[in-house]
Amino acid sequence: MHIIQPAVWDYAWGSDTEIQEIIGCDDPRIAEAWFGAHPLAPSTGPDGQPLDAFVADDPRRALGEGTLRRFGALPYLLKLIAADGALSLQVHPRLDAARAGFAAEEAAGIRRDSPLRNYRDPNHKPELVYALTRFEAMCGFRTPRRAAEVLAGLGTPLSDDLSSTLRDEPSATGVREVFTRLVTPELAPNPGEVAQLVEACRLRLESGSPSPRADRTVVMLAAQFPGDPGVVTSLLLNPVTLRPGEALFIPAGGVHSYLHGLAVEVMASSDNVLRAGLTSKHVDVPEMLRNVDYVAAPPIRIAPETFHQATRVYYAPVDDFELSVTDVPADGVVRRLPGLGPRVVLCLDGSVVLAANNQTAMLPRGHAAFVCDGDGPVTVGGKGTVVQAAVP
């Protein structure tokens, strides 16, 4: 076992308190804490060695023959994420697009840490988010009929035009046309048109809106990003609320934005984000649009399977990762964590003791360990709650 410390990021939408309280630090703002071996920001051991270097020292022992053969590196990244404001309107690329985009940007000589870079690695980025507090998000497209209904009645030229397009073409083609118009700079509504639609949503909300959640989201986003056409795209997307303990899967190609809350994320080990709005970061609309899945679909909520009345496992429909949550009561019973192979174990609450391969490690709240494949089975005792990222 190898104790690791997270790499932290202070993006503008982060929180002043949430992650700080878990990992025990006084940084003024933290948006994400990364527990993994992504070369952009790997976790570090007590001696300062990056986790990717630790894995590279003995990859067969660290990853196991199967994971090494399939992926060549640790295939997942575990995070804490704390959103006090909305994240960008974004999509993550599929594997073939990521490989092609990464190769093209490497050939163009764009530094991997450049703010103009789309592809920081050649990997896709499906992800699963597990809520620790009430967690608000937008994810995937509503049906064209429902999106047209939400837009109808606002009475602005922009809303009437978008609603008419969706009624005339109630398919993925209509969704593509409307979404493309909203986010493409040459076609997008100007700030005045966006403000007019926002005001219509505010007035409808005050008078008893048939779509109060959609209208509240527009007003909230407009306060953070005034004049941004991405505000209007929220009317096309499915709203999602997760209660603590609930999980949402975001496939590659799924348009989404997280709005507020604290959560654990596990994803393929990638930092590839293609943005179209609601951000001050790099935006590449054509590349984003090439990666979007326009087929309307409900959000993919992942229900856990429960083992031994203590562990809930969230099986995502990908080969890169799975997430488990284990509650450890103070009953003196040592419990075995599920799975084998390389794992990252993070203590969310209390204080626990991990044991594997005749080694033990104390994990207070906010502390984590990387467990090598060669360490074999892992047990946990003490009192608290741990999350584990593992390879299926």
| Full 3-state SS string of 273-294 | CEEEECCCCCCCHHHHHHCCCC
The Cβ-side half-sphere exposure at 330, using a 13 Å CA radius, reads 4
CB 274 within 8 A of CB 284: yes
Q: Which two tokens stand for residue 56?
A: 């590279």
CB 84 within 8 A of CB 260: yes
Rg of the chain taking only CA atoms, in angstroms = 22
Give the contacts of 95 (CB within 8 A, at least 6 positions apart).
123, 124, 252
Q: What single-letter amino acid sits at 338?
A: P
Q: Which two tokens stand for residue 171?
A: 């398919």
Q: Which two tokens stand for residue 334?
A: 């040592």
Active site residue 275: yes
Of 142, 181, 275, 343, the active-site residue reads 275
Q: Which two tokens stand for residue 250?
A: 């975001």
How far from chain centre, in Å, is Cα 244? Answer: 16
Measured between alpha carbons, how far is 169 from 375 in angstroms, rounded to an integer?
57
Residue 210: Cβ within 10 Å count: 11
Measured between alpha carbons, how far is 50 from 18 in angstroms, rounded to an integer?
25
CB 165 within 8 A of CB 153: no
φ, ψ of residue 53 to 5 degrees: the values are: -70, -40
The residues annotated as belonging to the active site are 275
